[in-house]
Chain A
Amino acid sequence: MHALVTGATGLIGNHVVQKLLAKGATVKALVRPTSSVGILPPDSELVYGDILEEESLKNAAKDCDIIFHAAGAFAYWGYDNKTFIDEAKKGMENVIIAAAHNNIKRVVFTSSSVTIGSSEKAEVLNESSAGSFEDLPAYVTAKIQQEQIAFSLGEKYGIGAIAICPTLTIGGPDIHLTESNRMMVNYIKDLYKSTWIGGCNIVSADDVADAMLLLADKGKPGERYIAGSDNLEWKDVHAGISRLCGLPGPYLTAMRTSSYLFSAMHELWYYVSKERPTSTREQAKMVGKYYWYSSQKLAALGYQPMSSEDAMVKALSWLVTSGHISPSIRATIHLNDKIYQYRNSHQTM
């Protein structure tokens, strides 16, 4: 397999590169000249370019037989909504055009489980569910429109575009801290150890990368596949983080109103401190919803993710060693034996 991986220094892209190399594939890692490439394996071939530049993408995809498109921002702050959506669409369009230009017949791209929608009650959604799309953040709109472009252009150019829809993806290394890892960091930093109502599904970046390779082999063009693991209430997620880090809590449970008001205050404070708000109003609007999904469709192809707790063990093992957690916060953490066992079995240090 000759693969091009976009977003190769991102959380999922980096894992895809590693998995491909482990399988003996030749890998071109598309990176921007300004990217930190230190996290990439030394045997990956770096190609410099940008998904927003069509020509650079065409050149990068030369001699490849598949593209794994993992580039794209996952953020709830710091972007102009229109630019955010336009860039996601343009990037996807360029990837399909580059594939067509190089006669590549298969593109596996990362979408998100949020494109399925959410539910106001604790119910599990699948790829064909009609979830709620109330209060869509720009990120969700971008992902929905990205899917539409991929499938329509894929059909037009005869390219098998397959969408993987990961749930809340955690793990490391994660240079710019995606929102999912930020959720864990924010909880660890939170003095009040607050949780909130609603639920989510947590999956390891490692499993998402495995799933992308699986879809490259067995995925059906024009289809989307949810890649998740366990469905959890937020209070259980936060209790799990507390347990694994030897921290107390969670103490407080935030409702929608308090979340929204506090997020508004955080956003206001940004104009003084210039530090990214701990939470945003867009995120606050997601409080109380259930982002619970089934991965049965992918499981039918052989997908076997680790449990959400194991995903948290793996992610926290890396996060506590990273600069995303300050020394004073690290000093409050008393790691659970599960993290040591993970480190010893994987020799991660």
Chain B
Amino acid sequence: MSEPSVTICTGKEKDTNSLLQQTLEQAKLWSAIESKRKTSKLSKRNFKILIKPDLNFYDLTASTGISTQLVEHLISLLGAKGYTNIIIADGEQSSGTWLENRDLLVLADLAGYTYQTKEGVAYSIESLGEHLADADFDNTSVLKDEQLSSHWLNANFRIVFAKNKTDEEFYYSLCLKSLIDILPQKAKQYHYYFRMRPEEVAAALSERNEVDFCIIDAFESNHGMLGARHIKKILTNTFIAGDNILLVDWIAALKMELDPYCSSINSYSLKKTGLPLKYKINGDLTIYENWQNVPKLLAESTQSRNRNPAIRQLANAWLQQVDTDIFPFKNVADAQINKFLSPITKNIDTHPLAYSALVALNYTLGGIQQFIEGWQTVFDKEKIYRQNTELGFDVNEFSPPDFEAIENYILPLAQLVAFTLPDANGIKWRYIDGSVLFEYSRTLPYDYKFFISKVDIAQAVQYMFDNIGGARIPVKTNDKEQVIYQAERDIYLPQPNWMVVFGGKPIDVCKIEIIRHNPANQSILWRTVKSLNQSAEFDDGLVSFSAKQKGITEIKIVARQKFALPLFWQVFNMDYLPAMKDALVSDSYLSFFTRTIANFEAACEGRNPRLGKTPDPEWGENGIVNHPLEAEQFKNLFAAFSGLAEKFMKKQNVFLKNNSLQKDEDGYVHFEGEENKESSPGVIVKSFITDVTQAIQKDVKYITGIK
């Protein structure tokens, strides 16, 4: 097997088709196909080749998607080589939730796909949102419960054909980001950019190694600050192709003069999977002339804005440049707002005011979202969305001795803290290497056997208070089918919660665990092996359930923790105020562990003690259009204000002169009947004032005692 390579072909003097042909030949596409065909033992006619083009265009002249002519030329080249079983396939687009004519087949028709090239090679067009089949994703993957289209799964050779363009949120949008489009759900922005983390989704797809070949059309690229939204063509006269998706994107990003790691999507895969150990670059690596990238300020403000799924959805609908003759809006309000905002943002590259306004708007919306998240973290945890993630580490790197060794690490620590005197809050704790080692225990008046029948020790770490998501994978079970080795990733709200005010981030920790099942005692011991966001240096410990006297169960928690502090608290070093630090530590742990014990008790009561709400896994799938969740609240607010305004205007007879005095067919003029007096604004305000006045009078009497 030859080493991975990437080919860059540039040719100002050539036309698009011949440059594409030259690129494919130099990138050895034909030998790659032939090699795979021979392995499959299929004839050329039966060897199924799937092309996944970037169809993200909202205007037929746009350079944000791959041109029909290029895709058909690729098909003709394949046909000329004898490969005639060719399909063009793509997933349904998120934009279909707010625009008409975005179904794949309609989109293909509008783009001019004719199911047969000029050279007579026939092809079909298939939606990857249909004919779903089990995809057998790894159980540690964020996509473990997802399906894929059998069109994708059954293809013998898969080509991703991406456009060379910038992206306001991820800096660039190339093959790896385009790969997310193959997933089945329509509301992709909601499911694969919010319900799941896009970097984990893209990594889960690329790790399957199903993409055999990647092509980036950089002949006519789309650059600028909003390269995925507005038409800003630039002739870069280049094609980039190769057999490794990360490598091809890497080179394309470098040619844009970007750090390939600036995109969180590519960065995650590059760090997780990495580039091939050895690879070849053939061609010119010179950066594109006059290329304009997304400023860091705009990208970061967009990321901040897009943390809210409703705002993400609204921004997509309101900022996208759309040819509304071809793609009408489903919602009149969206159409009107888009008509106002889109032309302003179109000039963002040349108009500093438009740029500043968008950045300011993004940060304002992001700030509101941050405030809401902060509020919810401290006061309204049920409104926080639970996070569905992948495991985040390779559990196969840990052998049984690694799991058994957890006990050797934790038990001496438990012994050490057991000899510490409890503080005023009843918690035993002390410092070890800057981390806090503590023990907290409580007995509950439940029979031990009853308690363990209700509370699964394997879930004990997930029952810790403020756990907001993650993943849990059994690694080994005993002969009674009880889990004895386990791997999990836990995400907790910032600790203590008020750290959120100072920019404290969620605690995100990956752990290996060992579970002991004894007749009168169950325990789970864990060790943190990784913190993907560097939020924790230590988060190790044990939870045990023990039978005490009849009808009593003891819960004990021992843990060693050290979490990263926000910048403010790094500067404002609490070590110089030991008494205050001790009080804060003790209070925080008391609160955290009494609530954790209450969670165990809630589980014993038969409740699910998990915090937060789970994003709807079906949203957008059953004909539901428009905006998700909180967006409806914006609409309600808007409707409430407009309703009040309408009532006010009616009261002022604003409409009388124009609309209300219409004659009917018999020549009668109809007036609207008098409004229900009880619900008219005047009566409501009057009764409100009367009620408040009476309440004040009564309160004064109550306070002064005057009869």
Contacts and interface: CB of A to CB of B under 8 A. Distances in A.
B598 interface: yes
A46 B594 CA distance: 44
Interface in B680-701: 688, 691-692, 695-696, 698-699
Interface in B653-707: 688, 691-692, 695-696, 698-699, 702-703
A11 to B, nearest CB: 20
A257 B699 contact: yes
B382 A273 contact: no
Given A288-B702, A349-B605, A328 B611 contact: yes
Interface in B620-638: 633, 636-637
A330 B692 contact: no
A104 to B, nearest CB: 39
Interface in B371-404: 379, 381-382
Interface string A256-285: 110111001000000111100000010011
Interface stretch (A223-231, A299-307, A332-340): A332-340
Nearest to B678: A81
A330 B633 contact: no
B608 interface: yes
Interface string A168-207: 0000000000000000000000010000010000000000
B609 A334 contact: no
B595 interface: yes
B609 A327 contact: yes
Contact of A331 (B602, B692, B696): B602
B450 to A, nearest CB: 8
Contacts of B445: 337, 340, 344
Interface in B552-606: 594-596, 598-599, 601-602, 604-606
B382 A327 contact: yes
B610 interface: yes
Nearest to A198: B702
Given A197-B702, A344-B551, A327 B640 contact: no
B692 A260 contact: yes
Contacts of A323: 607
A333 B606 contact: no
A255 interface: yes
Contacts of B698: 256, 288
A328 B702 contact: no
B599 A327 contact: yes
Of A197, A323, A330, A340, most B-chain CB atoms within 10 Å: A330
How extensive is the interface on chain B, given as a class? 20 to 34
A208 B637 CA distance: 43
Contacts of B596: 331
A94 to B, nearest CB: 28
Interface string A315-327: 0000011010011
Interface residues of A, number: 33
Contacts of A337: 445
Given A256-B698, A288-B698, A331 B599 contact: yes
B595 A331 contact: yes
A148 B315 CA distance: 59
B636 A274 contact: yes
B98 interface: no
Given A257-B692, A260-B691, A332-B595, A327 B636 contact: no
A326 B636 contact: no
A330 B640 contact: no
B699 A264 contact: no
A200 B606 CA distance: 32
Of B551, B602, B610, B640, most A-chain CB atoms within 10 Å: B602
Interface string A97-112: 0000000000000000
A273 B633 contact: yes
B407 to A, nearest CB: 29
A334 to B, nearest CB: 6
Of B379, B702, B703, most A-chain CB atoms within 10 Å: B702
B691 A321 contact: no
A331 B606 contact: no
Contact of B608 (A259, A327, A328): A327
B633 A261 contact: no
Of B594, B637, B698, most A-chain CB atoms within 10 Å: B698
A281 B691 contact: yes
Nearest to B381: A328
Contacts of A285: 691, 695
Contacts of A332: 595, 598
A256 B599 contact: no
A320 B602 CA distance: 8
B601 A335 contact: yes
A256 to B, nearest CB: 4
Interface in B348-382: 379, 381-382
B688 to A, nearest CB: 7
Contacts of A264: 688
A264 B698 CA distance: 18
Contacts of A255: 695, 699, 702-703
Contacts of A320: 602, 605
A348 B331 CA distance: 52
Nearest to A339: B445
A340 B445 CA distance: 7
Contacts of A281: 691
Contact of B598 (A256, A284, A288, A331): A331
B595 A272 contact: no
Contacts of B606: 321, 349
Contact of A272 (B602, B636, B692): B636
A340 B598 CA distance: 14
Given A288-B698, A327-B611, A340-B445, A333 B605 contact: no
B695 A256 contact: yes
A266 B455 CA distance: 38
A284 B702 CA distance: 16
B545 interface: no
A98 B691 CA distance: 42
Contacts of A326: 381-382
B695 A330 contact: no
Contacts of A273: 633
Given A260-B695, A327-B608, A349-B606, A272 B702 contact: no
Nearest to B378: A191
9 contacts: A197-B702, A256-B702, A273-B633, A274-B633, A326-B381, A326-B382, A327-B611, A330-B599, A331-B599
Given A328-B381, A328-B382, 8 more contacts: A255-B695, A257-B696, A271-B636, A281-B691, A327-B608, A327-B611, A330-B599, A335-B601
> Which 7 interchain pairs have the tightest Cβ spacing?
A328-B381, A331-B595, A256-B695, A321-B605, A257-B695, A340-B445, A331-B598
